Every structure is written in C-alpha cells, then in structure tokens.
C-alpha cells in the first residue's frame, strides 16, 4: 500500500474528511456485481444465496436471512452474526465497518449509513465525506424505515420504533422512537406478558 493511501485510511479511521478520489484505492473491496447477482437469485436457491452472501460480506454467521433486494456500498465492510433476519430494501452505506450481533431483526426499508457530508457546500467538492462505524449489539429489533447515522451503537435487546432517525447511541434494553430517536422507556420483565401465546404443552379447545 502506498504511503498516501495509508494516510487516507488513517484519516478515515479518525472520522476526518476525505474525498472520493482519495478513497478510490478501496474500489476493489466493493462487491457491487455480487450484490447484483444475489438480488436476482431465486428465493428457493438457498445454497447459491448463501454462497454469494459469504462472498459479499466481511463475515456472516449461521442461519442468516437477508431478503432481496438489499444494497451496499461495499458489502465487504458488513459483519453479521448468527440468527439474523433482514427484510427487503435494507441498505448498508458501509464505507467503514457495520457490525451486527446475534439474533438481530431488521424490518423493511432500513438504512444503516456510516457516512455523512460537511454542511458547507464548498467542503463537499469531490464528494468529500466522513465515516464512523456502526455497531448493533445482540437481539436488537429495528422497525421499518429507520435510518441509523454514523458512529451510532445500539445496545443489547433495544427496540427502535418505525420511522426513527437514530443520531446517538441507544442504551441496552430500551425502547426508542422518533426524529431524532429518543429513549421512551426501559424494557422490563413485564414485557414478557405482552402479545404472547403459550409455547409449551398441548393446545386445548374451549
């Protein structure tokens, strides 16, 4: 790697501004053609879809479901754990890493973007931008049409309500909603009795 490329990587990792031209050396890490292929495979072709997903993502766990279509800037910067469910039109803007834990569920139309741009237009020449990693911990549920912005961590077991824009970290075991997204309450054992049905024993007729 050239020294100038190392310097750009250092700036990227520090969350500082960089341009499209400066970051062009990372183009081989993009998995655009493979993502195109994945989005056109038959839903029943599980073996082919799994093979493509392993080639696209930086890492992927067991029993992963990612419905088509999905979109990613790179794909190779996305890391997904076990028992993941991603619904249609999930978008990863993964100029830097997006790390998703085990047992995470993501509803339709969600965008996870690690990248933003300067406010002043003179600083946006050559698509100048900054990037910060996103972390989604285990057993998080993200509702439809949520946008998660750069540098956010969503804690274990949290629920993010539909339509929210997540600008700051969300603590573990909380429900958060809104624009901007704010915590509205804790998740407690009382929630174990909400919208549940028996899961053990024979079904009886009244």
* Separation of alpha carbons 13 and 28, rounded Å: 19
Element containing residue 184 per DSSP (H, E): strand 182-186
Can you tell me whether residue 27 is helix, strand or coil?
A: helix
Report yes or no: 148 and 154 within 8 Å, Cβ to Cβ: yes
The CA-CA-CA angle for residues 73, 36, 81, to 5°, reads 60
For residue 6, what are its two tokens?
């190392």
- Residues 92 and 115: their CA atoms lie apart, in Å, by 10
Dihedral, 96, 101, 104, 109 alpha carbons, nearest 10: 0
Q: Choosing from 79, 117, 120, 168, which is the catalytic residue?
A: 117
Is 117 known to be catalytic?
A: yes
DSSP letter, residue 169: -
Tell me the C-alpha distance between 85 and 63, whole Å: 9
Q: Rounded to 5 degrees, what angle do the CA atoms 145, 149, 155 make?
A: 85
Would you name the residues annotated as active-site residues?
Answer: 117
């Amino acid at each position: 790697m050239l020294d100038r490329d190392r310097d750009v990587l250092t700036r990227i990792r520090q969350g500082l501004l960089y341009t499209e031209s400066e970051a062009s050396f990372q183009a081989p890490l993009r998995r655009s053609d493979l993502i195109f292929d994945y989005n056109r495979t038959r839903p029943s072709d599980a073996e082919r879809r799994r093979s493509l997903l392993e080639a696209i993502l930086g890492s992927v766990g067991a029993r992963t479901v990612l419905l088509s279509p999905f979109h990613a800037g790179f794909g190779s910067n996305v890391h997904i754990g076990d028992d993941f469910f991603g619904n249609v039109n999930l978008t990863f803007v993964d100029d830097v890493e997006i790390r998703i834990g085990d047992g995470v569920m993501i509803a339709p139309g969600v965008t996870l973007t690690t990248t933003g741009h300067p406010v002043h237009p003179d600083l946006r020449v050559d698509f100048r931008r900054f990037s910060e990693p996103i972390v989604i911990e285990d057993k998080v549920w993200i509702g439809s049409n949520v946008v998660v912005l750069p540098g956010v961590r969503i804690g274990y077991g949290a629920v993010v309500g539909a339509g929210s824009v997540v600008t700051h970290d969300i603590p573990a075991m909380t429900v958060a909603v809104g624009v901007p997204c704010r915590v509205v309450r804790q998740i407690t054992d009382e929630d174990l009795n909400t919208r549940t049905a028996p899961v053990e024993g024979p079904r009886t007729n009244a």
